[in-house]
Structure 1
Amino acid sequence: MDKLDKNIKEYYMSQSLSEDRMEEILGESSGKTSLKKFYIPMSIAASLLIALLATSVFYFDGYMLTKRVVKEIEMNHNKKLAVEMVSSDYSQLSGMLAKLDFELVEPDSQFTKNYELVGGRYCSIQGELAAQLKLKHKVNGTISTLYAASLNPELQKIKLTDKNTSTTSIKLWNSDNIFYGLAEDL
């Protein structure tokens, strides 16, 4: 068997490819790109696309929610509903609106310089129980509506903004875990 193995080995060792065939094989391999060079840019592009898509969905969700809340505040303000509880004191009115899961407070001292509380009633913002407060402007006597709701995760998505519709000026802001929306006639 050793002689047979030796003969087989010698035979295959004496075999070789022609120079033309060697050139052809070497030429083919130089034109090929490795899979690594293909997959890395593709995975980076896919990751960027996913991040862009997730960001745009989050932004669009917040944008649409803001639009719905502005429309809801405008609609409720334009109904001009009467107050159900009359008080010029935020603490007293908060006691009257006991179903709220937050304490009504004056939004800030600058705010109270311009507005006097007339009273309030229950309402809702996007299905959440809220307070609808009637305010009287101290200088020109116009009536405005202030909406206050507990700042839940859904309301945190709202873009805080000043927005004018065809009939109403609306300002949205947060303070002390309370979401506020102020509506005034234009």
Structure 2
Amino acid sequence: MTRKLKQSVRNQFESYALNDDQLRNLESLGKQIKTRRTGQVSICRWSLVGAVAAFILAFLLTPLILDQGDIHERVALEVATNHLKLKPLEIETASIDRIREYFDKLDFMPVKSTLINELGLELAGGRYCSLQGIAAAQLRVRQPGSDSVQTLYQTEYRKDVFKDMPVLEQGDAPVEVYAKGIRVKIWSEKGLVFALTDVPQ
């Protein structure tokens, strides 16, 4: 009985055996499926790499894009805030030469601005300060005979901080931004960045 059962099982399995043609067809089909899967995995892998690269690029570029629009607002806000405080002057003078002598610890030399001359403003003095973390000269200017003072900042033009500023020598007009109710003009001239508060109307 056991022998008959074994023989029956063997006969049953042999009836399911593939002939040579069937075996070749099955092997060929397996190779095609494997090739397709490899291609799909390759496409998936490159899609994933592309998505990660796009995310990283967006993550890195977003601050740069936002920075350019925000730098003028940040400068105007800092200048307006300090203008409203009107901290005491460290030196009182109308002479640019005395200003240069006093501000000898700066990495730049304070200069006369052509725009300040065109506006007819004269120096009243200044104090050490900073603008966006860079050492600056905070000067006070005014119309001759006027009690109203305006704050004028000068600092070195560092593109990594200030990005692209309008350049007076190239015919660019200063950027005008309102902060805390004060109009602030911002521009670049003679390799320096300038920011000037306006007299409130």
- So what's the TM-score if we normalise by structure 2? 0.66
Distance 2:51 2:196 in 1: 44
Identity %: 22
Stretch moving more, 24-33 or 119-128: 24-33
- Secondary structure of the residue aligned to 2:198 is strand
Determine the structure 2 residue equivalent to 1:74: 80
**More deviation, 34-43/94-103:** 34-43
Bigger-Rg structure (1/2): 2
CA contact (8 A) 1:170 1:184 kept: yes
**Mean CA deviation greater in 46-55 or 72-81:** 46-55
Cα pair 1:63 1:159 within 8 Å, conserved = no
Q: 2:178 aligns with which of 156, 164, 168?
A: 164
SS at structure 2 position matched to 1:181: strand
SS at match of 2:113: coil
**Mean Cα displacement is larger for which, 167-176 or 55-64?**
55-64
Q: Deviations over 1:5-46 (max 9, x none)?
A: xxxxxxxxx722179958975885697571333333443333
What is the SS of the residue equivalent to 2:77? helix
Task: State the alpha-carbon separation in 2 of the partners of residues 94 and 131 from structure 1.
Answer: 10
Moved more, 134-143 or 112-121: 134-143
The answer to which structure has the higher strand fraction is: 1
Alpha-carbon deviations, 1:46-87, whole Å to 9, x = none? 333322221102234555655443322111101233433233
In structure 2, what is the Cα distance between the partners aligned to 1:126 and 1:28?
Answer: 62
Gapped runs of 5+ residues in structure 2?
Answer: 1-18, 167-174
Note the aligned Cα RMSD (angstroms).
Answer: 3.5
Structure-1 separation of matches of 2:97 and 2:160? 26
Structure 2 contact 71–162 (Cα < 8 Å) conserved: no
Alpha-carbon spacing, 1:28–1:152, altered in 2? closer, same or farther (3 Å): closer
CA distance in 2, matches of 1:55, 1:85: 43
